[in-house]
Amino acid sequence: MAAAFSFVLVLLTAFTINRLAGRHGLLGSASVLPALMYALLVSGFLVVQRLNVVWMFNLFFLLAIERIWGIVIHGRKEGRSFDGALLVGIGSLVYVKGLYLYPLLLVVMGGLRVLTIRTFLASLMGVLLPFVLSAGYFFFVDRFMEFGVFIVFNLLSSTGQLSHNISTQIYLFFLGGIILVGIVNVFRFLPTQKIITRKLFRSVVWLTLLTFGACLTPFFSVELTPLIAIGPSMILAFWLDKMSKKIWQEVILWVFIGITIAVQIIHIG
């Protein structure tokens, strides 16, 4: 049951990423590349594929990004900033350390040039509202102290780091290299893109770099892979989509698939 629920969360996340890329014209044509790349990026480490609260937070965070990106189409900067941060706050009730990732939403807003004092205050109210309501409930049932201890303990607790072997080190080196190449190619093609597309991709690159950085802190580890993979899936899909010779696109995809399967087999063994 847990494995099935985890699989459903992966599908929902991949579908949302694909919808984001298609709705905002990040690729030259309709494609399932973003969803495929996301599925491959989160498949290398079997430990990540188990049901985890990060998966649930990840979906809320992705929906929050969708609300923020919608500002460029629908406007309503303050309202959508509040909505996006509210989704992060709801997700953080499940995964408390998600509060540390709230600034990533501000970075996305900054990349779109919609971060102002008013939108910041709207987002701050949004992210705090679920915790204020929860605190009020636990105060009413006389369990406020337990709620406070739970929040503080989860915020300050360190996460056990994954002990890497030679296979995972090679795999991470491969991922880092191919994502770096993807970022370089994104900036190579950006001058030919629309202004709004440039802003979106800058926010995607910042999201990628900062989530990688967060993974190096004592508060996160490989558990953050579902969130880290959001940016690279769009970056790699854009790079592959821009390849003039489709044969190279297929070769890279098959190499990626082969290495992912090989790492899984090694882990199982």
Position 162 confidence tier, pLDDT thresholds 50, 70, 90: low
- State mean pLDDT over 21-33: 78
| 175 confidence band (pLDDT: 50, 70, 90) | confident
Exposure class string for 87-124: b at 16+ Cβ within 10 A, else e: bbbbbbbebbbbbebbebbbbbbbbbebbeeebbebbb
- Stated pTM of the model: 0.85
Task: Tell me: pLDDT of 193 over 80.
Answer: no
pLDDT tens-place string over residues 222-232: 677 888 888 88
Planar angle of CA 86, 32, 190, nearest 5 degrees? 75
Kindly report, residue by residue over 127-144, the tens digit of the pLDDT. 999 988 888 888 788 787
CA dihedral 266, 182, 6, 53 (to 10 degrees): 110
Instruction: Determine the average pLDDT of the residues in 184-189.
Output: 84
CA–CA gap between residue 122 and residue 33 (Å, rounded) = 34
Would you say 126 and 86 are in contact if contact means Cβ atoms under 8 Å apart?
Answer: yes
Confidence class for position 90, pLDDT limits 50, 70, 90: very high
Report CA-CA distances (Å) from 143 to 132, 151, 224. Answer: 14, 13, 30
Placement of tokens 């205050």 in the chain: 121
The token duo for 124 is 């701050």
Give the CA-trace dihedral at 231, 112, 53, 177, to 10 degrees.
20
Predicted local confidence at residue 137, as pLDDT:
80
**pLDDT band at residue 124, thresholds of 50, 70 and 90?**
very high
- Position 209 confidence tier, pLDDT thresholds 50, 70, 90: confident
* Residue 268 pLDDT grade (very low, low, confident, very high; cuts 50, 70, 90): low
Location of structure tokens 């997700």: 91
For the chain, the distance separating the N- and C-terminal CA atoms, rounded to the nearest angstrom, is: 24
